[in-house]
Amino acid sequence: MPKLATLIRIAVFLALVAFLLQPHWFEPLLRPLVQDNAPVIYNQGSLLQLTLLHLRTVALAVAAAALVALALAILVTRASGAEFLPLSRSLVNIGQTFPPVAVLALAVPIFGFGEKPTLIALFLYGLLPIFENALTGLTTLPPSVMEAARGAGMTSGQRLLKVELPLAMPVILAGIRLSVVISLATATIGSTVAAKTLGEVIIAGLQSNNLAFVVQGGLIVAILAVLLHDALQAAERRLAARMGR
Amino acid sequence: MIEIENITKRYGESTVVDDVSLTIAPRTVTVVVGTSGSGKTTLLRMVNRLVEPTSGAIRLDGEDNRALPGYELRRRIGYAIQGHGLFPHRTVAENIATVPTLLGWARARIEAKVEELLSLFQLDPASFGPRFPHELSGGQQQRVGVARALAAEPKVLLMDEPFGALDPIIRAKAQDDLLAIQKHFQTTIILVTHDMEEAFHLADRIAVMDKGKVVQYATPAEMLLKPATPFVESLIGAGERPYRLLAIAPVSSAVEPGAAEGAPISSAASQREALAELLWSGRDALPVAGPDGAVIGKVSLEGLAKRAAGPA
Amino acid sequence: MRELRLDKLGAIIAALALGGAFIAPFATFRANRIVAGEVKSVLDALPAGWSAVLLGIVVCAVAVAAVRSPAVLRLVAAFVALATLALGIGVAATHLTPEGNTYARVSPASGFWIMLFAFGLLAADALTRLRPAPFVRVVVLVAVLGFIGILLLSGSWDGLSILKEYASRVDTFWAEARKHVTLALGSLVAATTVGIPLGVLCHRVTRLRDGLLGVLNAIQTIPSIALFGILIAPLGWIAVHVPGAAAVGIRGIGVAPAFVALFLYSLLPVVANTVVGLAGVPRDANDAARGIGMTDWQRLVGIEFPLAFPVILTGIRIVLVQNIGLATIAALIGGGGFGVFVFQGVGQTAMDLVLLGAVPTVVLAFAAAIVLDAVIEMASPNTRQAEAA
Ligand SMILES: Nc1ncnc2c1ncn2[C@@H]1O[C@H](COP(=O)(O)OP(=O)(O)OP(=O)(O)O)[C@@H](O)[C@H]1O
Ligand SMILES: [Mg+2]
What does the pLDDT read at residue C263?
92
Q: Is C343 exposed, middle or buried (0-12, 13-18, 19+ CB in 10 A)?
A: buried
Q: Which residue of C has its CA nearest to A34?
A: C233
Mean pLDDT value of segment C284-306: 82
- Ligand 1 pocket, B36 CB below 6 A? yes
Query: Domain residues of chain C, as ranges?
Result: 8-131, 170-388
Residues near B181 by beta carbon (within 8 Å), at least 6 away in sequence: B120, B121, B146, B150, B187
Q: Which residues surround ligand 2, an ion (CB under 5 A)?
A: B 41
Query: For residue C108, is it left (φ>0), alpha (ψ between -120 and 50) or beta?
Result: beta
Please determine, for residue A207, whether its predicted confidence score (pLDDT) is greater than 90.
Answer: no
Residues near B91 by beta carbon (within 8 Å), at least 6 away in sequence: B129, B130, B131, B132
3-state secondary structure of C40: strand
Could you please state the CATH topology (level 3) that the domain comprising A46-243 is classified under. MetI-like fold (1.10.3720)
3-state secondary structure of C28: strand
Q: What is the pLDDT of residues C16-44, one digit of tens each?
A: 999 999 999 999 888 877 777 888 888 88
Q: Tell me how crowded residue C128 is: count the other CB atoms within 10 A of its CB.
A: 18
Q: What is the pLDDT of residues A155-164, one digit of tens each?
A: 999 999 999 9
- Alpha-carbon torsion (C20, C22, C26, C29), positive or negative: negative
For residue B23, what are the β-bridge partners? B3
Please determine, for residue A54, whether its predicted confidence score (pLDDT) is greater than 90.
Answer: yes
Mutate to test the interface with A, among C119, C230, C262, C373 (most CBs of A within 10 A): C230
Q: Tell me how crowded residue B280 is: count the other CB atoms within 10 A of its CB.
A: 8
Q: What is the pLDDT of residues B47-103, one digit of tens each?
A: 999 999 999 999 999 999 999 999 999 999 999 988 778 999 999 999 999 999 999
**Chains in contact with chain B (at least 3 beta-carbon pairs closer than 8 A):** A
Instruction: Kindly give the pairing relationship between strand B295-300 and strand B77-81.
Output: unpaired
Closest partner CB to B102 (pick from A150, A154, A166): A154
Q: What is the pLDDT of residues B261-289, one digit of tens each?
A: 888 888 888 888 888 888 888 888 889 98
For residue B287, what are the β-bridge partners? B298
* pLDDT band of B301, cuts 50, 70, 90: confident
Mean pLDDT value of segment A201-222: 86
Please determine, for residue C222, whether its predicted confidence score (pLDDT) is greater than 70.
Answer: yes
* pLDDT band of C305, cuts 50, 70, 90: confident
Contacts of A167 in chain B (CB under 8 A): 87-89
What does the pLDDT read at residue A130?
94
What does the pLDDT read at residue A244?
67
What does the pLDDT read at residue C248?
65
CB proximity under 8 Å: C 298-327 to A:
321, 324-326
C181 versus C248: which is more confidently predicted?
A: C181
The pTM of the full predicted model, rounded to 2 decimals, is: 0.84
* Binary contact (A242, B89; C-beta < 8 A): yes
What does the pLDDT read at residue C85?
93
Please determine, for residue C180, whether its predicted confidence score (pLDDT) is greater than 60.
Answer: yes
Burial of A72-93, coded b for 16+ CB within 10 Å and e otherwise, reads bbbebbeeebebbbebbbebbb
Q: What is the pLDDT of residues C88-131, one digit of tens each?
A: 999 998 888 887 777 888 889 889 999 999 999 999 999 988 88
* Binary contact (A33, C233; C-beta < 8 A): yes
Q: Tell me how crowded residue B12 is: count the other CB atoms within 10 A of its CB.
A: 6
* pLDDT band of C1, cuts 50, 70, 90: very low
Atom 1 in ligand 1: residue holding the nearest Cα = B11
What would the 3-class secondary structure string for C276-306 be? HHHHCCCHHHHHHHHHCCCCHHHHHHHHHHH
* pLDDT band of C386, cuts 50, 70, 90: very low
Identify the CA nearest to C225 among candidates A193, A205, A55.
A205
Q: Are C269 and C253 in contact (CB under 8 A)?
A: no
Chain mean pLDDT for chain A? 88
What does the pLDDT read at residue A82?
84
Q: What is the pLDDT of residues B204-246, one digit of tens each?
A: 999 999 999 999 999 998 888 888 999 998 888 877 888 888 8
* Binary contact (A102, C226; C-beta < 8 A): no
Contacts of B48 in chain A (CB under 8 A): 151
Chain mean pLDDT for chain B? 90
Instruction: Kindly give the pairing relationship between strand B285-289 and strand B295-300.
Output: antiparallel
* pLDDT band of B294, cuts 50, 70, 90: confident
User: What phi, psi does B276 have (nearest 5°)?
Assistant: -60, -45
Distance between first and last Cα of chain A? 22
- Ligand 1 pocket, B270 CB below 6 A? no
For residue B289, what are the β-bridge partners? B266, B295
Identity at C316, one-letter amino acid code: I
What does the pLDDT read at residue C306?
84
H or E stretch at C131: none
Please determine, for residue C236, whether its predicted confidence score (pLDDT) is greater than 80.
Answer: no
**Chains in contact with chain C (at least 3 beta-carbon pairs closer than 8 A):** A
Mean pLDDT value of segment B5-23: 94
Percent of chain C with pLDDT over 70: 94
Contacts of A137 in chain B (CB under 8 A): none
- Ligand 1 pocket, B52 CB below 6 A? no
Please indicate if any CB of chain A lies within 8 Å of the CB of C352.
no
**DSSP characters for C89-117?**
HHHHHHHHSPTT-SS-EEEE-HHHHHHHH
Q: Which residue of A has its CA nearest to B83?
A: A144
Please determine, for residue C384, whether its predicted confidence score (pLDDT) is greater than 50.
Answer: no
Q: Are A101 and C339 in contact (CB under 8 A)?
A: yes
Most confident of the ranges A83-97, B56-70, B154-168, B290-304: B56-70
Strand B2-11's sheet: what is its strand order?
B14-24, B2-11, B55-60, B63-64
Distance between first and last Cα of chain C? 31
Instruction: Kindly give the pairing relationship between strand B29-34 and strand B77-81.
Output: unpaired
H or E stretch at C260: helix C255-279
Rg (CA), chain B: 21
Mean pLDDT value of segment C332-337: 85
CA distances, B50 to each of A75, B36, B69 (Å): 22, 19, 11
Domain C170-388 has CATH 3.40.50.300: no
Q: What is the pLDDT of residues B124-152, one digit of tens each?
A: 999 999 999 999 988 899 889 999 999 99
3-state secondary structure of A201: helix
Cα(B163)–Cα(B182) distance, integer angstroms: 16
What would the 3-class secondary structure string for chain B be? CEEEEEEEEEECCEEEEEEEEEEECCCCEEEEEECCCCCHHHHHHHHCCCCCCCEEEEEECCEECCCCCHHHHHHHEEEEECCCCCCCCCCHHHHHCHHHHHHCCCHHHHHHHHHHHHHHCCCCHHHHCCCCHHHCCHHHHHHHHHHHHHCCCCCEEEEECCCCCCCHHHHHHHHHHHHHHHHHHCCEEEEECCCHHHHHHHCCEEEEEECCEEEEEECHHHHHHCCCCHHHHHHHCHHHHHHHHHHCCEHHHHCECCCCCCCCEECCCEHHHHHHHHHHHCCCEEEEECCCCCEEEEEEHHHHHHHCCCCC
* Binary contact (A94, C124; C-beta < 8 A): yes
* pLDDT band of C226, cuts 50, 70, 90: confident
Residues near B103 by beta carbon (within 8 Å), at least 6 away in sequence: B75, B152
Please determine, for residue B252, whether its predicted confidence score (pLDDT) is greater than 50.
Answer: yes
Identify the CA nearest to C52 among candidates C60, C61, C43.
C43
Atom 16 in ligand 1: residue holding the nearest Cα = B39
* pLDDT band of C250, cuts 50, 70, 90: low
What does the pLDDT read at residue B113?
94
**DSSP characters for C358-377?**
HHHHHHHHHHHHHHHHHHHH
From C12-21, C196-205, C240-249, C357-366, the region with the lowest mean pLDDT: C240-249
CA distances, A239 to each of A3, A174, A229 (Å): 20, 11, 15
* Binary contact (B134, A166; C-beta < 8 A): no
Contacts of B98 in chain A (CB under 8 A): 152, 154
Identify the CA nearest to B139 among candidates B119, B123, B124, B152.
B123
Q: What is the pLDDT of residues A129-180, one digit of tens each?
A: 999 999 999 999 999 999 999 999 999 999 999 999 999 999 999 999 999 9
Rg (CA), chain C: 25
Q: What is the CA(A243)–ligand 2 centre distance, in A?
A: 27
Please indicate if any CB of chain A lies within 8 Å of the CB of C348.
no
**Chains in contact with chain A (at least 3 beta-carbon pairs closer than 8 A):** B, C
CA distances, A111 to each of A101, C36, C205, C379 (Å): 15, 15, 51, 44
* Binary contact (A206, C229; C-beta < 8 A): yes
Most confident of the ranges A1-15, B67-81, C204-218: B67-81
